[in-house]
Amino acid sequence: MKKVEILHEDEDIIVCVKPQGMATQNDKSTQMDLFHYLKGYLYEEHNLETEPELYMVHRLDCPVGGVIVFAKNQTAAAALSLQIKEHSFKKYYQAVLTGELEEEEGTLEDYLLKDSKTNVSKVVDKDTKGAKVARLHYELLDEIETKEGILSYVLIELDTGRHHQIRVQMAHMGAGIWGDTKYNKRFQKTKKVYKQIGLFATRLEFIHPTTMKPVVFQTEPTGESFELLEVCF
């Protein structure tokens, strides 16, 4: 079982770094998911006699690693969920894209529709029934030439939290996430199964639900795609 790095814990929240390849919450697999891992951690760490409370307020896709926060009581969960709804809960990602970007920075706004049967989302016309607006901002940090083509290293601020949003929007723009066999055409023909992709949640900013003070939690990205960047540098 992968050990999870705990960045912060108090009476109301617990912040950790989700390992790539671990589901945020049970995905019907037999492997341990982060939600139940943290429940076990809290139970043992605090010598509890009953099952601890834990509430998921946002999630990361299974192949995506990075900073994530869970609430330890209903009041904290409600406060964080409200911030997410009001877009004051800030989420930043670093990503490795396969392709060259036309603009060094910009805002992407699309309408996404999720197919619950295939667990895949796609960009559709805004008048499509069930479509939801998806918006993000990106900034090019570096561009690297490799034998397989150009890799673009970007910082992304997520404005909305739609299903597979970053992966779908970047692929639609023509620069899909490295290793993403679900949306990146360059990787869809490979026989290799990627348990990690070039997308990492590196920073969270929000108002603490009890102290009401701004808090920031961050980490550096890890994984094969980011190691490629280090080699190129």
- Say what the pLDDT of residue 153 is: 97
> Percentage of the chain with pLDDT > 90?
82
**Per-residue exposure over 127-144, b if at least 16 CB sit within 10 Å of its own CB, e if not:** eeeebbebbbebebeeee
Domain boundaries, the chain: 5-232
pLDDT class of 20 with cuts at 50, 70, 90? very high
Q: Mean pLDDT throughout 189-197?
A: 77
Backbone angles phi, psi at 167, to 5 degrees: -65, -40
Cα(109)–Cα(123) distance, rounded to whole angstroms?
A: 10
The fold of the 5-232 domain, in CATH, is: Pseudouridine synthase (3.30.2350)
The pTM for the full model equals: 0.93
Would you place residue 190 in the very low, low, confident or very high pLDDT band (cuts 50, 70, 90)? confident
